[in-house]
Structure 1
């Protein structure tokens, strides 16, 4: 845009200054920046099973709240390392986010990631999942104390199935059986394989999400002995806390939430956070929680970030105790 001034016109100093300021503002402002979001947002999912289903429900509800499609894109592998690496290298513009969990800490302390949780920007916590301890119904163990007594009398190591060595279920299992003073051997299996491994007799016990065991509990082939949270919560199966049955002080849960690349503008984080808050508060999310066996829980970006820092420290300490901390001793 060009401004012309009639040379016959005499401008007063204040008028001349105003015109100069206007010309400068037009010259440097450039085109207006579009307001976020103006296109589809991708939510990276790291795992299959209930976690993937939960992320899809969350994405659909966030789409309604934020006014643009939020779609899930599966990027599994490396215990979450592949998905976290993708997000870490993505543009910090809010259009790539990840459905995150404690796995950001486990893969870091295993040495599978060159960065930790602090290199991603927290958006919001969206839920918590509580693992449960399950055994075959024909084992005859109806309580945690039954299992503890039988394991000690057998003189053999209890075969405990875990998602993978260094996984959260491995850490939670170690914390549980250390408290019970039971010698165990950990047997890793593929994702979602806990019921099949139990029923096939390849393991004696498994710590996994209640939704995996619910159909088998109903069929009478698997018994769930306890949950790993300190406080009893509503799950897909009815059970008591491990803490109340002798594993005193046990309180280990999986948090679920959302992260963006570090450097994402605060105003963008705020919009994503608000969309997540709206989704978590919705009846549809509560219904999904009942079906999938998790507990809706919202925390703001700031509170979420503080909680992760504490969780990461605890996980690092547990992995050091197990001898699988590859970052520091």
Structure 2
């Protein structure tokens, strides 16, 4: 009788323990989720809009915190050092591969658990309208005739825009000198004449194109970017088969519970599928395109291999 009573009490206590453990995940989030933003410009703007949308979907704040620097190294290192509980996530991109192979972080994409791809963004090549260059061909011909390297502005040496620029000018056979500038500085550097051309996200250039002070000559993806301004692809403009596109998404430290990843994924999906988010993002040259965690993880791994090979070919790989 006593033995049976003890077993019943033990079973009850075990059931209570399980009952207390389960709601910890079911109640996620119980406090604000911090989203680390790695870059400024359109990445920061879209990231903030995403955080606002996810806050509504989760019913709890998602706070966007800017941690730029080192081509993403500072932000990735911060999130990598936090607990794997879903309360610290990163607005990530292909930069996880470029910054790793550049040698700026000791870990690679496997240090993070994918949450969802949010969409993609394609760099564009832009010049000042004072240059007189109206297309990629005229710029390349002028550069070759001059016999001196073009000064090309990029976000940072070893950054994704540097990779895109190197791939483009390698195909064109044009000699260049890469000049890094601070976040959001591309239009100012072009207009001041400190660089001859710049590779950057279209959202930074659109107002200046509308004012006829800057021209976007081409975009580096295989498909045209979905903005009101008609910009040919670099493939169409003469850099045959060039296809360099950046995905952007969300990730958490590896080991974050699947239940938590699922809740964050669902909040991201609800936000991306909201028409207001889609319209705001497209106005910045960002194309929404949701992928769930599993498919996003496959994309990250596939692109990592491509980036590794491309950086090796272009002499940009240090790791």
TM-score bracket relative to the smaller structure: over 0.9
RMSD over equivalenced CA pairs, Å: 1.6
**In the alignment, what sits opposite 1:215?**
207
- Please state if 1:22 is matched with 2:14: no
- Please state if 1:32 is matched with 2:20: yes
- Taking structure 2 as the reference length, the TM-score comes to 0.94
Distance of 1:236 and 1:320 partners within structure 2: 36
Report the Cα offset of residue 300 of structure 1.
Answer: 0.8
Q: Any stretches of 5+ residues in structure 1 without a counterpart?
A: 1-10
Q: Is contact 1:211-1:236 (8 Å) kept?
A: no
Helix, strand or coil for the counterpart of 1:233? Answer: coil
Report the Cα offset of residue 79 of structure 1.
Answer: 1.6
**In the alignment, what sits opposite 1:147?**
139
- Please state if 1:283 is matched with 2:275: yes
Helix, strand or coil for the counterpart of 1:32? Answer: helix
Q: Is contact 2:72-2:96 (8 Å) kept?
A: yes
Q: Any stretches of 5+ residues in structure 2 without a counterpart?
A: none
- Please state if 1:317 is matched with 2:309: yes
Q: Which runs of 4+ in 1 moved over 4 A?
A: none
**In the alignment, what sits opposite 1:106?**
98
**In the alignment, what sits opposite 1:3?**
none
Distance of 2:8 and 2:249 partners within structure 1: 46
Distance of 2:71 and 2:131 partners within structure 1: 31
Could you list the per-position Cα deviations for residues 16-61 of structure 1 after superposition, in whole angstroms to 9, with x for gaps in the alignment? 75x4443112333436133222221111111222211111111111
Aligned length: 313
> Among residues 108, 113, 120, which one is paired with 1:116 in the alignment?
108
Report the Cα offset of residue 291 of structure 1.
Answer: 2.6
Q: Is contact 2:225-2:231 (8 Å) kept?
A: no
Distance of 1:234 and 1:262 partners within structure 2: 34
Distance of 1:95 and 1:236 partners within structure 2: 37
Distance of 2:75 and 2:308 partners within structure 1: 21
Report the Cα offset of residue 290 of structure 1.
Answer: 2.6
Q: Is contact 2:167-2:314 (8 Å) kept?
A: no
Q: Is contact 1:236-1:293 (8 Å) kept?
A: no
| Larger Rg belongs to | 1
Distance of 1:72 and 1:55 partners within structure 2: 7
> Among residues 169, 182, 188, which one is paired with 1:177 in the alignment?
169
Helix, strand or coil for the counterpart of 1:85? Answer: helix
Distance of 1:261 and 1:26 partners within structure 2: 35
Distance of 2:282 and 2:174 partners within structure 1: 33
Change in CA separation of 1:314 and 1:236 when aligned onto 2, cut-off 3 Å = farther
> Among residues 54, 57, 76, which one is paired with 1:62 in the alignment?
54
